[in-house]
Amino acid sequence: MRRLDSVEDGHRRARRRLPNSVYWFIEGGTEEELTLRENRRAFQEVTFRPRAATAYTNHDLTTTVLGTQLSMPVIVSPAGYIRLAHRGGELAAARAAASAGTAIGVSTLSSYPIAEIAAAGARATWYQLYFAGGRPGAQIAIDAARKAGCTALILTVDLAGTAGRDRRRRANAPIRVDLRSALTYAPEMVLRPRWLAGFLRDGLGLNVPNVRLTHDGPPLSVAEASASMRRHPPTWDDVSWIRERWDGPIIIKGVLSGDDARRAVDTGAAAVVVSNHGGNALDGTPATLRVLPEVVAAVGNDAEVLLDSGVRRGADVVKALALGASAVLVGRAYIWGLAAGGEEGARQVLEILRHGISTTLSLLGCPSLADLDDTYLRRPTGQGGER
């Protein structure tokens, strides 16, 4: 593939490669997309306060998250149905994470068995748990994650309902393959022959092999799995239930207040992800970057704080780290890379982010990741730390 110049270049190529519905499935947010836009606005409004006449180059970006050393503070976020973006799906994403030396979160709604994804060799594989199949389904998934060698569970806690989508196309992504959807989507798909060829070669389908009700029973269908997880949004009781079944770290993804972060830690979480699901859950929630300082203050040294939603460049990662995150997760950025060029596209996106972090640290006059703090930033009035 031709080299990607930037994450945005990957985005443009994804737009050209993917059928409209698939593109909007990845791109769109819920309702008016207030939160989706706000995520980006927050990164734009927090600006840098560089130190001039410095010469710090060759930064060491290695970072330890939950005891695992990563080559940089960027982690691949769990995302369901990404086999629609590229038939390599989570396998390609995990291989990209492996070559970039980082960790991957793998969605319950992934299209390859967790054992195969974990074998791709990412620095760490974390299984993201939805309660598809209720507690029996969750128990089977936890057992499979353990057997596959996953080192942490991510419990996503911000989808206790199904928000509407103003963009009709986004609501109707082709996740079900039947005659009716074939007829509905045929016109846009023939305009994307390269994608269509991949989809056809892949057997025309999406499945969720990690969602089962019994150990040796067949997996649920996509429709059954998504209906079931909507019926069983996890609660704090479920965190305690998981705690009894999983010795490793639990990461609670989707907290947006100091109170919830504290509760997560008190219930046994080793890390929280400040996340609004990339603008895909409750519309009207604040940008994660704005909430981050409150969460960091509430958690103190009792757990690690990660952030996602809206990260598109290395400078964004640096801003989140300066406000106290130990690493960020990226969603759309790598999915666009995947759509643009499979494993190689996703790998290039991760390398672009790495390069962006290094360059930003040099231009900022910051000696190392460990030295980053909010004295390197200027925040808008009302977000604390005004300078």
Residues that bind ligand FMN (CB under 6 A): 26, 39, 77-80, 107, 109, 128, 156, 253, 275, 277-278, 280, 308-311, 330-333
Token reading at 226? 């998504």
Nearest-approach distance from CB 344 to ligand FMN, in angstroms? 20
Burial of 31 (0-12, 13-18, 19+ CB in 10 A): middle
Q: Which DSSP symbol is given to 219?
A: B
Concerning whether 215 is annotated as a catalytic residue, the answer is no
Nearest-approach distance from CB 252 to ligand FMN, in angstroms? 11
Residue type, 184: T
**DSSP string covering 24-76:** HHHH--SBT-HHHHHHHHHHHHSEE---SS----S----EEETTEEESSSEEE
Residue nearest to ligand FMN (CB): 331
Token reading at 186? 């045929």
d(CA 107, CA 110): 5
Minimum CB distance to ligand FMN smaller for 38 or for 344: 38
Nearest-approach distance from CB 322 to ligand FMN, in angstroms? 18
**DSSP string covering 77-113:** PP-TTGGGT-TTHHHHHHHHHHHHT-EEEE-TT-SS-
Q: Which DSSP symbol is given to 276?
A: -
Nearest-approach distance from CB 320 to ligand FMN, in angstroms? 11
Minimum CB distance to ligand FMN smaller for 18 or for 70: 18
Given the residues 59, 215, 232, 277, select the one marked as catalytic.
277
d(CA 320, CA 311): 9
* Whether 102 contacts 94, CB under 8 Å: no
Minimum CB distance to ligand FMN smaller for 109 or for 377: 109
Sort strands 103-106 and 63-65 into parallel, antiparallel or unpaired: unpaired
Q: How many CB atoms lie within 10 A of CB 354?
A: 20
Minimum CB distance to ligand FMN smaller for 39 or for 358: 39
Burial of 333 (0-12, 13-18, 19+ CB in 10 A): buried
Phi and psi at residue 144, to the nearest 5°: -65, -40
Minimum CB distance to ligand FMN smaller for 349 or for 366: 349
Minimum CB distance to ligand FMN smaller for 87 or for 332: 332
Nearest-approach distance from CB 367 to ligand FMN, in angstroms? 28
| Bridge partner list, 104 | 76, 125
Nearest-approach distance from CB 77 to ligand FMN, in angstroms? 4
Minimum CB distance to ligand FMN smaller for 11 or for 379: 11
Nearest-approach distance from CB 309 to ligand FMN, in angstroms? 4
Known catalytic residues are: 277
